[in-house]
Amino acid sequence: MTPLIAHSADTTVEAKPPKLAPAIIYLYSGDDGDSAFINSAKSGIGAAERDFGLTVSITRMQADEDPRMVIKKVASTGATPIILLGNQNVAPLMDVVEQFPHSTFTVIDGLAPPLYPNVQSILFKDHEGAFLVGIIAARMSHSGFVGFVGGMDIPLIRNFAHGFTQGVKYAVPNTKVDVQMVGDTADAWSNPEKAKAIAQNQYREGADIIFAAAGGSSVGVLEAAHEMNQLAIGVDSNQNGLFPGTVLTSLVKRVDVAVYDTLKNSHNGTWRAGIKYLGIKEGALDYAVDQNNRGLMTEQLIEEVATAKDKIISGKITVESYSAK
């Protein structure tokens, strides 16, 4: 309901809500697209622009930029809503949010304390989706040794690794899981060369399937699998078609839906501050089966993973998060 402002005892004027001027901010030092998280977000932007007649301002940060200054610069233009991709934006946003009470902020994949009426967090239950691809990796491994290559070593990526390991052990308990990270700085998201080197070493040591959860760096793992005639698992968007025949499946994380819903809810006035969690039950995480990988998995395995998915939804399987360890 539009608020009313009283100017005298007998006159009232409706206060107009702020005009939408949506913006998105993300950190990426590589090429414009990463074939993963950022590309998925851009897909959601495109859909919302078409459906709601919006124009979304896009700001790409470099690793050496001060995110506080970038957020302030965008917010100072009157942008709202402002979507921030990634946990690294939480602390900078908390430092400046009080200066911009008329803008709304949504952090996707980052937990902002629910202290402000204009801040929303959207988090994914990544461990649930990783559990499913862990089952696939364990069942498809001939060596009994699988790998995990994460991007930046932060709890969010450890959550992927923890869920993946649980899925592997659920399916084939004696399977070995080697977990490694590209790095501990933001450059880890855009360093496919290092991710490729880590994957190559894991394959040489006996791993025959590697799950890459490393943003733009993940492509390096997929390249290593292709060149060494091994298998890899993609992340965020459906990466099966990047190297058909060697990408076993992809953990599809519906960042596009989170972005789209933020813009839709802002457009129709139903945006709300607070914290939202999206998992398998909400349709936000799934494994990809298409013409590029259908021949790699048996129908029996697909059915087994579908059953596990149903059990997670019904609560018969509980996947532990990294923070709950």
Give residue 34's pLDDT: 60
Residue with tokens 């691809």: 133
Distance CA 164, CA 135 (A): 8
Give residue 33's pLDDT: 61
CATH 3.40.50.2300 fits 4-125+256-278, yes or no: yes
pLDDT tens digits, one per residue of 122-158: 999 999 999 999 999 999 999 999 999 999 999 999 9
- The domain spans of the chain are 4-125+256-278, 126-252+286-324
CATH homologous superfamily for 126-252+286-324?
Response regulator (3.40.50.2300)
The per-residue pLDDT string of the chain (325 residues; one tens digit each, 9 = 90 and over) reads 333 333 333 333 333 445 799 999 998 766 666 667 888 899 999 999 999 999 999 999 988 899 999 999 999 999 999 999 998 899 999 999 999 999 999 999 999 999 999 999 999 999 999 999 999 999 999 999 999 999 999 999 999 999 999 999 999 999 999 999 999 998 898 899 999 999 999 999 999 999 999 988 999 999 999 999 999 999 998 999 999 999 999 999 999 999 999 999 999 999 999 999 999 999 999 999 999 998 999 999 999 999 999 999 999 999 999 987 7
Residue with tokens 């060494």: 228
Pairing assessment for the beta strands 285-287 and 247-253 based on DSSP bridges:
antiparallel
Report whether 56 contacts 24 (CB < 8 A): yes
Give residue 14's pLDDT: 35
* Residue from 285, 246, 324 nearest 40 by CA: 285
Give residue 312's pLDDT: 97
Give residue 18's pLDDT: 56
Give residue 214's pLDDT: 94
Report whether 122 contacts 262 (CB < 8 A): yes
Q: Which residue(s) pair with 233 in the sheet?
A: 211, 249
